[in-house]
Amino acid sequence: MYIILFGSPGVGKGTQAKILSEKLGIPHISTGDILRDAIRNKTTLGLEAKKIVDSGQLVPDEIVVGIIREVLKSEQTKNGFILDGFPRTVQQAESLEHLFNELNISEVFLIHITAHTEEVIRRLSLRRSCKQCQAILNLNEIENPEVCPICGAINSLYQRHDDEESVIKDRINIYNITTFPVLDFYKDRKKCLTIDGFQPIEAVNAQIMKELKPD
């Protein structure tokens, strides 16, 4: 099964990707993670990407698509994948569509997770990261905010700059302008499923599974 997870920052794509990966037995492919892996493993494309990142520029689409191609051609994705974080523009969607055609990948589901802007801002404002183990947590789910519940580090939880309210609003604005139009590109090309991300995590996942496997 081939899945693209789509939605604004903070709607829960990463959370649902991990749950779906376990339930469906297919890998969660985060474009940010595979880009960092390519740089760390010093692949040909990874070395190119590192030069660009080190210079403070954004990695161009052709390199990102090339890294995605390497992953999609690997053994780990032979039974499918869950793509998270790409495409973010119509141009990227066009490049990804060419890649799918090249690799004979069809029957791709696009899962569009939605949530009210106010809820997204609230969720992201409550996120904290651990300096020690890099875990991303929610203040509502932490018993003692001075201790990381994952690694036990003390006073290691902090709010990332991109989780500050003003930055969140900017990210959502960018999403609405550059990323949301991707839906129009896919509406006649893929099986598009719209899921209410305002529900509890378990309910969101249950709805996704029902839509993917209605029988």
Q: Is 88 a catalytic residue?
A: yes
Find the catalytic residue in 18, 69, 88, 122.
Answer: 88
| Strand order from edge to edge, sheet including 157-158 | 136-138, 127-130, 157-158
192: exposed, middle or buried (Cβ count in 10 Å: 0-12, 13-18, 19+): middle
Phi then psi for 149, rounded to 5 degrees?
A: -70, -10
From 123, 128, 171, 190, active-site residue? 171
**H or E, element range at 5:** strand 2-6
Task: Specify whether 127 is catalytic.
Answer: yes
- Among the listed residues 13, 123, 128, 190, the single catalytic one is 13
What secondary structure letter does DSSP report for 150? T
Whether the CB-CB separation of 183 and 101 falls below 8 Å is answered with no
**Residue 13 annotated to the active site:** yes
Could you say which of 78, 131, 160, 187 is catalytic?
Answer: 160
Question: Residues with catalytic annotation?
Answer: 13, 88, 127, 160, 171
